[in-house]
Structure 1
Amino acid sequence: MITAFDVVLRGGTLVTNSAIDISDIGISEGRITAIGNLSSVNTNEKIDARGLHVFPGIIDSQVHFREPGDEHKEDMESGSKAAVLGGVTTVFEMPNTTPPTTTVESFTEKLSRADGRYYCDYGFFVGACKENIVNLPMLERLSGCVGVKIFMGSSTGTLLIPDDNMLKDVLSSGRRRAAVHAEDEDRLNERLPIRNSGGGPELHPQWRDVKTSLLATERLIRLARTHRRPVHVLHVTTADEINLLRKSRDVATVECTPQHLTLVAPDCYDQLGTYAQMNPPIRDEKHRQGLWRGILDGTVDVIGSDHAPHTRAEKDMGYPNSPSGMPGVQTLLPIMLDHVNAGRLSLKRLVELTSTGPARIYGAALKGEIKVGYDADLTLVDLGLKHTISKNWLASKCGWSPFLDKTVKGWPVATILRGETIMRDDEIIGDPIGKAVTFQDP
């Protein structure tokens, strides 16, 4: 047995997707090297975790940090600071930047920008487009690449795979699980008069209606089965899709966001206006309850924030000129811990959704579990701590949150990345040490 460690985390309540136990964790050279009673061992650093719950480092598998091109909204430093303050140790960042991440050159440029600036670990998606379909099998295997992102409907940015012929070509080009924004482009275009009819953001879920999402998800599942390509359906918003995806486990995994599990129409549009506008939209209580059924019965695999910040000036432009999207990486864990304390899901289920699940789905090596040999990525939580989400706490450049001034119960009090404490008691510690994640082929 190892008798000396770089760090020993003592007496925490370890939470995995299968068990909850009080134990010590020994860490050496950034990896977990022992779990058990380590009271008699030597160590360079002791972290007292008594009374705290210790999660595998939280993975936010859908963020938009806006760099390059829109650094006035967010950049790699500010976005990753927000992540770490929220207890997140790893993020997977989306390709709809300016220019979009669709080539070897643009992907390499993103990696170069990230070096020495990310406070958490990271991976980047490549965006599918007409021009790069033939290169997708090569692009998805680039070091640091999470996989391919497909936009079936228009959203922020210019990436779009609008029809079945192009979607078929994308799905048959590559092997790794593809992440998909599933909204039907033809139906969005047909219903544009609704968006442009002179009303406010309450029109958003009428324009991008339930059928818009369901049609796209049905098309996706059919073609994914035909081409035997695993897909991950992002930010699912409808009970109808949950019912479909419950029967599609052979080919599809599922993501929901804290926003769609927490906010509800029409109240959110009355209270937040365009600040509640996102794609796909926040829907009514029937659909929120449908999402929660998917959480409880195992249909949903992942909770990701879809962190997509815009400035207040942009959001205040008025619908439909206001851009869709809201920040969320920093509030993902606090909001979900509040749901745990309200009895809506268990701690073990939360770990599956925010750590083990994302790592499993995308093949993130040595991430997502508290296990000997894995990276010592840990999130320490005070489950009983009540905290108000305040503007001063937020690190995103956009400076707002749909959950601003909301008091939650359960709070991340420390973030540990590969054995280094990088956040403690709402303060960033040290310089950025984030690295690109290694991904394993299926």
Structure 2
Amino acid sequence: MSTYLVKNAKIVNEGEIFEGDVLIENEFIKEIAEKISPKSSDCIIVDAEGNYLIPGAIDDQVHFREPGLTQKATIETESKAAVAGGVTTFIDQPNTVPNAVTQELLEQKYQIAATTSYANYSFMMGGTNDNLEEVLKTNPRNVAGIKLFLGSSTGNMLVDNQETLEKIFSSTKMLIAVHCEDEATIKANLEKYKEEYGDDIPMKFHHLIRSEEACYISSSKAIELAKKTGARLHVFHLSTAKEMDLFTNKIPLEKKKITAEVCVHHLWFTNEDYETKGSLIKWNPAVKTANDREALWDALLDDRIDVIATDHAPHTLEEKTNPYTSCPSGAPLVQHSVVAMFEAHLRGKISVEKIVEKMCHNPAKIFNIEKRGFIKEGYYADLAIVNTHLPWVVKKENLLYKCGWSPLEGTNFKSRVTHTFINGKLVFQNGKVKNIKAGQRLLFERDF
């Protein structure tokens, strides 16, 4: 039995910040009050005075690369990085090797995480052009949802058969998460640039190849299909101003059947950064213009966009030095997402309450995660303490990603995650991740 008492914290929960104490017993939050006295001599006190206590962030889109791509990352290494960044829960995508497109292959990923994950975990079931029967076997109680790639990305899981798409959308009540980029548009754009540059296309053209139009065509079609079939749709990593017109803030999140996510890199970088960062910020969908970035911020703040995530997707530095056409897209971010958003807060872009809403509360609501994402009595004690007056610089020496690099290297952050609790265990403290693999498989409260 472990008992912790977090004292004098600025507790952030459901749109409010209030000073108080939180008592943790075993896996759960036992009590929240203005003042709590230790109940026993073995109660460990953590003084959080002046610091924020937030629910641990829930990253609804990561690629931890296991099985099959473990030269890039593993569930163990990346969940360790997540915990160091105040991310207590992740939902991993199916484009591993082999792709998680049968129930047996999906379950194998859960078995790996059960013994190696520092953070709480769930894995998406992958849809393809020919695995509808397997998709429909997915258990809504212990699997986050169904993932469809409507544009090809790492792992070649492109679903481009319209009849199959309609069947998946109309046959399952589970949340369907989509990567939206139109393949025909991208191919035509790529050929145009290859004619001029061959395989070594300058990276600054990436956002013109995987263009605004490619994103809009695909996401608008997915939304149209969801409306037609009544499917529960969640659109991952939006990147353009044009797509923002597809989403609404006119109804509360709990009543939305179509929800939206933005990733940290699309809120942080613009196409001008290709000049200095090059392939290190090559993502799919691409980082686009300053106007797109501003539109994403506007939509995030007015609640057309519901979630902030990372699309954490590491590759080796060697792979990232390849010419454009063979250079993979994706980069690691999960260790730095929370502090990046707190940096945005300190620059006046977003409130702390809104950060918690978009990174903690809303993912829990959208996926119907049981007893996580909030600071409430009876909920799992997944918590992070953030100090906004403890500057540091992102360097190779303080990275926990297996790939050993970050597009944020050299960035000065004013905020730092000092403590992370996972299921009531203090797993990260003052720069060190303890050897406590406390992660649990997520369960979901669904009535189907």
Fold shared, TM-score > 0.5 on shorter chain: yes
Aligned to 2:244: 242
- Structure 1 gaps of 5+ residues are none
Displacement of 1:8: 1.4
Whether 2:53 is the aligned partner of 1:51: answer no
Aligned counterpart for 2:343 among listed residues 334, 338, 347: 338
SS at match of 1:139: coil
AA aligned to 1:420 is: K
Aligned to 2:148: 150
Displacement of 1:433: 1.7
Aligned counterpart for 2:174 among listed residues 170, 173, 176: 176
The whole-number CA distance in structure 1 between the counterparts of 2:390 and 2:431 is 13
Whether 2:30 is the aligned partner of 1:28: answer no
* Greater Cα shift, 181-190 or 280-289: 181-190
AA aligned to 1:130 is: N
The whole-number CA distance in structure 2 between the counterparts of 1:279 and 1:248 is 29
Whether 2:68 is the aligned partner of 1:69: answer yes
Whether 2:191 is the aligned partner of 1:189: answer no
Displacement of 1:273: 1.0
Deviations 1:151-199 (A, max 9, x none): 0011100211114322211111210211110111222233330352422
The whole-number CA distance in structure 2 between the counterparts of 1:5 and 1:39 is 17
Deviations 1:79-138 (A, max 9, x none): 111101111111111100000011111011111111221011101001111222133232
1:194–1:205 distance in 2 versus 1, CA, 3 Å: farther
Identity, % of aligned pairs?
A: 32
Aligned to 2:59: 60
SS at match of 1:241: helix
The whole-number CA distance in structure 1 between the counterparts of 2:181 and 2:359 is 24
Aligned to 2:215: 213
Contact kept in structure 2, 1:201 and 1:320, CA below 8 Å: no
SS at match of 1:115: helix
Aligned to 1:160: 158
The whole-number CA distance in structure 2 between the counterparts of 1:328 and 1:312 is 15
- Structure 2 gaps of 5+ residues are none
Aligned to 1:254: 260
AA aligned to 1:281 is: A
AA aligned to 1:153 is: G
The whole-number CA distance in structure 1 between the counterparts of 2:133 and 2:2 is 48
SS at match of 1:236: coil
Displacement of 1:19: 0.7
The whole-number CA distance in structure 1 between the counterparts of 2:45 and 2:142 is 32
The whole-number CA distance in structure 1 between the counterparts of 2:59 and 2:193 is 31
Runs of 4 or more above 6 Å deviation:
none
Contact kept in structure 2, 1:422 and 1:428, CA below 8 Å: yes
Deviations 1:63-89 (A, max 9, x none): 100001110000011111110111111
Contact kept in structure 1, 2:181 and 2:218, CA below 8 Å: yes
Whether 2:45 is the aligned partner of 1:40: answer no
AA aligned to 1:357 is: N
Contact kept in structure 1, 2:2 and 2:424, CA below 8 Å: no
Report the TM-score, using the length of structure 2 for normalisation: 0.94
Whether 2:132 is the aligned partner of 1:133: answer yes
SS at match of 1:172: helix
What pairs with 1:40-439 in structure 2 (closer than 5 Å)?
Answer: 40-43=37-40, 44-141=43-140, 144-197=142-195, 198=197, 199-246=201-248, 250-265=256-271, 267-439=272-444
Displacement of 1:38: 4.1
Aligned length: 437
* Greater Cα shift, 285-294 or 28-37: 28-37
The whole-number CA distance in structure 2 between the counterparts of 1:298 and 1:247 is 5
Displacement of 1:5: 8.2
Displacement of 1:246: 2.8
AA aligned to 1:369 is: F
1:195–1:126 distance in 2 versus 1, CA, 3 Å: farther
1:72–1:195 distance in 2 versus 1, CA, 3 Å: farther
The whole-number CA distance in structure 2 between the counterparts of 1:149 and 1:248 is 26
The whole-number CA distance in structure 1 between the counterparts of 2:404 and 2:134 is 38
AA aligned to 2:62 is: V
Aligned counterpart for 2:13 among listed residues 10, 13, 16: 16
The whole-number CA distance in structure 1 between the counterparts of 2:211 and 2:36 is 57
Report the TM-score, using the length of structure 1 for normalisation: 0.96
Displacement of 1:384: 2.0
The whole-number CA distance in structure 2 between the counterparts of 1:312 and 1:364 is 35
Deviations 1:22-55 (A, max 9, x none): 0111112211111103433414221111111000
AA aligned to 1:436 is: R
AA aligned to 1:78 is: T
1:35–1:218 distance in 2 versus 1, CA, 3 Å: same
- Taking only aligned residues, the RMSD between alpha carbons, in angstroms, comes to 1.6
Contact kept in structure 1, 2:102 and 2:135, CA below 8 Å: no
SS at match of 1:46: strand
Displacement of 1:260: 0.5
AA aligned to 1:42 is: K
The whole-number CA distance in structure 1 between the counterparts of 2:263 and 2:37 is 43
SS at match of 2:245: helix
